[in-house]
Structure 1
Amino acid sequence: MNLRLPLLALALGSTALPVLAQEVNVYSHRQPELIQPLIDAFTAETGIPVNVAFVDKGMAERLVAEGDRSPADLVLTVDIARLMQVVDAGVTQPVQSDVLEANIPAEFRDPADQWFGLTARARIVYASKERVADGEVTTYEDLASEKWKGRICTRSGTNDYNVALLGAVIAHDGIEAAKTWVEGLKGNLAKKPDGGDRDQVKSIWAGECDISIGNTYYMGQMLADDEQKAWAESVRIVFPTFEDGGTHMNISGVAMTKAAPNRESALKLMEFLSSDAAQAIYAETNNEFPVKPGVARSALVQSWGEFTPDTLPLADVAAQRPAALKLMEEVNYDG
């Protein structure tokens, strides 16, 4: 019997995953092809099949609607905010694991053991090689200064990654300073926010702006694309810091659902994803930073240079999400 459901059928919204002995069912915000190498490695090691349903939107709502009948054991998300949406919906359960505690640093996991970070990504500045001098980009706070007027491109202010960054600004500098900052950032935009992080790099390549805010791993994705390679080669990665901290980090992460019909197998997958082997696969295939100390970054990621990650716990950043979203709407960032 083929235990793996066709991903296309799952993406189109099938109402149930098969619930069989010794398997794991995953609802994922991550594109299936990005996690398939990890799933294959886990199944090869344990013999436990994994069914993945790509759920781009409405994951928390879906789990609430399914309740105790949910076939999902785990959720995988691409941002701390999305993880917290699922946790806040009351559809996850705490997981106590010596393996997870040993492999994942405290700043990348929930103090209440509801969620665990699996990979890290930095929210950095892409800077034009031609029009931005070395050392010109310094702190996140400096992005609101007059010298950047008409020179910055970003995606929507209500995008999860930008909301998380603003949440970190609030946590570091306070709500009033954060409001002044985001107003200044908006005032420095070269054009109306639109598209994704890679589109902003394209705008730099096209001469529409000089710097943009984006996640590090997009550089790897652009370099691997025939059309986008020229965009990537027109910029360099710069790691800004907070005035009292380091470079803002976000995560992809995992949580176990409250319903989890295959809890034992699901825990094995969680622990595997934090292992040396899985972290190395993440590093090589997705150009992300392993969260487990001692696991090497890919050669490409290492070429971007060293930086000092911010040590602000992501739980503190996530707690500021409502305030950050309210600020983005108050200043009409996308208007």
Structure 2
Amino acid sequence: MRYLPTSKLTPGMALGQDIYDGAGRLLLAKHLLLSEEYISNLEFLGFPGIYIDDEFTQGIEIQQVLNPQVRSQALKVVHDMFAFDVASDAEEDMPVSEIKIQKTIERIVENILSNGDIMCNVLDIKNYDDYIYYHSINVAMMSVLLGANYGMNEESLYQLTTAAILHDIGKRFLDIGIINADHALTEEETQLLRKHPELGADYLKGNYHFSALVYAGVMQHHENYDGTGYPLGKSGEHIPLYARIIRLVEQYDDMVSLHRGRENLSPSDAMEYLMAGSGSLFDPKLVELFVEKIAVYPVGCEVELSNGMHGVVAKNFERFFLRPVVKVVETGEMLNLRDDPDTRSIIITKMVIH
């Protein structure tokens, strides 16, 4: 299995993973043979790339952090959280029940923990129009990985994941033109956008009975470690732990996600940004732990090598993410950049994502 930008897809390629929309509905099923129409629809919907199965990458398997069924159910819950009409009294427009949210959180945490010591080793398949739904799930998923690596117990992980999956719920009260803007925001639009943490925390307090730690995580997820964030300007460990985790994780997911009018960064470039912001924007201890769980060259991605050849990442090693096993396109050879002495002079120069 390998990841290909949508621009490089050709008819007859076999889909490597199910593709869902932002409401958790199946759009295209795994093993489907792509046609011109399917490829055009993927481009129209704003999917930057997908996974395909082919003979060259046979045997390269990607371990999902989150089971596709659990992910689909969680997407639907998040979609419904954003979609209901606040002003309506109709039953179908009522807020998602607290029990449904809690069960979704439990499934996410238990599913990820059941996978053992897993790393985030996959490029997410999402389109930019439904970005906020995918983003909420990804932030929740990576928060579990980081929280578990931090040493949190299961109850704390439930609370962290609740705050993470709902961290942007305040954006449902803002104009969609601000949320999905394809231009630089004006000062007025920026100030409106900056209200979403408080709007979200106030909404949750008025409609649910979550822990105060959850509300604080939502309220303060844009605080910076050096005190330059908002809305309260807190710094260091005065910022609640859940908020510090969400601040880091949501920044990473935002940078690797495609937006209207802005290309996404590769995981390696995004990780460099996080490391550069360690101690200023982000809690340095959390950055260190996060780096251990995110593969900068995910399995299945195409890379360019310093010897002029191209390859597909076949395997990653925890804490040695810059030195994966790569299957060379030109020769079919497997290069173990970590263990093979003959590959010591070879480095990955670029990841192909566009």
TM-score (normalised: structure 1): 0.30
Of structures 1 and 2, the one with the larger relative CO (CA 8 A, separation 6+) is: 1
**Structure number having the greater strand percentage:** 1
TM-score for the superposition, normalised by structure 2: 0.29
